[in-house]
Amino acid sequence: MPQITFGDLIGVQSDVIKILQLTSGSKSKRWQHEDEIRVIMDHFGKVEYDFRAVKAIYFGLRMPKKLQDLYEDNAKLPDHLSQVCQEQVMQVLKGRGVKYYQMVLKPNSYE
């Protein structure tokens, strides 16, 4: 991952898109062990991809697990920004051999 410094952010503090582009492509060395690949798109919505490219999905700490967990949150959002839950992702990708992992917070650690 590329490095980002405070100097990189000077002059772009009013450009939210530029800040997001810079920070989305960088990562603290403390998280280097994750060896992740990030896919960052410049638009919302569905994206076509070769499903064979996805081997595993790691669900984040705050991603809702079940559909009923979403109702209250989604009621506050416009339709094009509505969230999905783990249950929906697994249903759509069912039968494709994708492995699923739930991230957990290890106390007093960046792991």
d(CA 3, CA 20): 14
Contact 65, 86 (CB under 8 A): yes
pTM here is 0.57
Q: Cα 18–49–98 angle (5° rounding)?
A: 110
Distance CA 111, CA 17 (A): 29
pLDDT in tens, 49-65: 888 888 899 888 888 88
**pLDDT tens, position by position, for the chain (111 residues)?**
556 666 666 766 667 677 777 777 677 777 777 777 777 666 666 778 888 888 899 888 888 888 777 766 667 767 666 678 899 889 989 999 999 999 888 887 766
Q: Where are the domains of the chain?
A: 1-34, 41-111
pLDDT of res. 105? 84
In total, the chain counts a number of residues equal to 111
